[in-house]
Structure 1
């Protein structure tokens, strides 16, 4: 997975996808007064049965206030198809920041 200013992209054995439609939350970890470094990125997969955005995959950057840690959570309550590349990411669940390759 690649997250940058250009968006969130998936690069897996099954292929490349992106940029993904996402919603970003800077205070989901602790409410309106949260001042930590954790950022939640929810991946949109269409609408739910009530017409709201469906967010079955959540990426928690700087998870647990640890810089560079990434946890991916999957809410399969609505059984939304998320595709093979995202299934691979969800199954891996825990990631860490990669350093930029030297030019």
Structure 2
């Protein structure tokens, strides 16, 4: 019975840590925009505190994330793609795919939910991809 109890305790610790907010890896920090044109007022800024989305005078900052380093290919995945799920009040969360499809500096934001996304995040989902511009 003791090995089962230890296994149960370990699984609960792992589940709790998986559900906690994680920082975005520092190599993802920077500015991203459609076609890498960050001189416009339409961009995403990523730093140690999270991501800020700017579009048409609207600003949204998301600071709590679930970060998955192996979602793109499973437990043995060794690539550079990182998935990040912002903690916002929606049934289905959007996913930000950093270094999407193994292309460094490319971010794709996908959303399969039916609830409307907050402005300006909704605009970023409609673009195919964003490029790092710094």
TM over 0.5: yes
**RCO higher in structure (CA 8 A, sep ≥6):** 2
Band of TM-score, shorter chain: 0.7 to 0.9
1:39 Cα shift? 0.3
Q: TM-score when scaled to structure 1?
A: 0.78
1:43 Cα shift? 2.1
SS of structure 2 residue aligned to 1:18? strand
Map residues 68-87 of structure 1 onto 2, 5 A cutoff.
68-76=105-113, 79-87=114-122
Counterpart for residue 49 of structure 2: 6
SS of structure 2 residue aligned to 1:23? strand
Counterpart for residue 58 of structure 1: 95
Between the two proteins, the alignment pairs up a number of residues equal to 91
* Distance in 1 (alpha carbons) for counterparts of 2:71 and 2:118: 26
* Distance in 1 (alpha carbons) for counterparts of 2:61 and 2:90: 18
Say if 1:73 and 1:93, in contact at 8 Å, map to a contact too: no
- CA 1:71 to 1:17, structure 2 compared with 1: closer, same or farther past 3 Å? same
1:14 Cα shift? 4.2
- CA 1:74 to 1:41, structure 2 compared with 1: closer, same or farther past 3 Å? same
The RMSD of aligned alpha carbons is 1.6
Counterpart for residue 88 of structure 1: 123
| Structure (1 or 2) with the greater helix fraction | 2
**For the pair shown, which has the larger CA radius of gyration, 1 or 2?**
2
Q: TM-score when scaled to structure 2?
A: 0.62
1:45 Cα shift? 2.6
